[in-house]
Amino acid sequence: MPHILIAEDDDLLRQLLDAALRPHFPQLTLVNNGLDALACVRKGGIDVLVTDWMMPGLDGIELIRRARAECSPAPFIIMSTVLGSNEARQHALRSGADDFLAKPSRPSAIRACIELATQRHASSQQSPVAWPAKRAPVSPTLPHATPPHLIVTIAASTGGPAGLHVLFDDPTVPGDCAYLVALHGPEWMYQSMAEALRRSSPLRIELAEDGMASSPGTVYFACKNRHLVLDTALRMRFSDAEPEHFLRPAADPLFRSAARVLGRHALCVVMTGMGRDGLAGSVDIAAAGGVVLVQDPITAVVGSMPSAVIDAGLATEIVPLTLLARSLTRHAAAWRGLNSHAPHADDTLIYKAPFVER
């Protein structure tokens, strides 16, 4: 039975939430300030935290940051506030919130958001998967010897908006790669992320469209509540396949398609996030001979996604967040040098950096 914590300083709203939610979530705790909420989270056992922004003692943003920094594992966190601007939404997500609800919200919407959150949180707490050291090789279906440019696939979840800003705002991020990003979040977040990154990143920022061809120097976000995959013509396609890890878009379908189409040319990055999305797809990319870069969990807002890949022995390299752009630059330069002359598939190689011990 999931344990839900509500931090809300409005007495009437707290009573309404109690009446609306307790029949569905018997383990429901309500507090009227951020300090009491933090104390509850510190005790452990909280699966989902729904917090207001403006509260006495400790506001919702600081509550989120401290819960992430001080509590492991931290609960799934939903910010619920009347501050509904894109800037407020981005600020909450970059501070470590998993989802955002603008007030006023119907009880049914709050309940649905909490139910999805409990499913995702339960999935993230499952026992680690032990992958065999030897994996069956994946044969690429790319009809050409080598793709025209390096395509980087990226998985990110909790803490992803802030992490992606660090990566894509870095002037050293290679401008001759295409980046396909599966970022977990509500649909509104993708447009908001794109607008924010366009103001700060040296790269072009786009929302993916079905049938679109990737171009170097461009970041494409999966969106429209559909999985993003690559086809054999290196075009982006939307998939209506079932959610994976209770998520759509998820990174695993994207990674699997990259392994299938690109083979040893595939390069994926698993960044901060709750759960294990990206793990199964990293298995395929590693089996294809591709590169699996993993954000150092120490630098992640939530480290379970990168840790899952590391624990499975799949990481080609473990990289602190602030060095991800430089690592990609090094891999891209080596890939260009080893593949620019190769007319046949048998001659193609991709650079494999040594595993970095921390």
Decide if 170 is catalytic: no
* Closest by CA position to 268, among listed 249, 289, 248, 247: 289
CA dist 75 and 63 (Å) reads 12
Q: Which helix (H) or strand (E) holds 18?
A: helix 11-21
Q: Strand, helix or coil at 105?
A: coil
Q: Which of 3, 91, 121, 184 is catalytic?
A: 184
Backbone region of residue 122 per phi and psi (left: phi > 0; alpha: psi in -120 to 50; beta: other values): alpha
What count of other Cβ atoms lies within 10 Å of the Cβ of residue 85? 10
Q: How far is CA 279 from CA 34, 88, 187, 312, in A?
A: 34, 31, 23, 8
What count of other Cβ atoms lies within 10 Å of the Cβ of residue 42? 12
Q: Which of 47, 98, 277, 284 is catalytic?
A: 277
Decide if 184 is catalytic: yes
Decide if 157 is catalytic: yes
Q: Strand, helix or coil at 202?
A: coil
Under 8 Å between Cβ of 305 and 157 = yes
Q: How far is CA 322 from CA 150, 162, 309, in A?
A: 21, 11, 19
Question: Which residues form the catalytic set?
Answer: 157, 184, 277
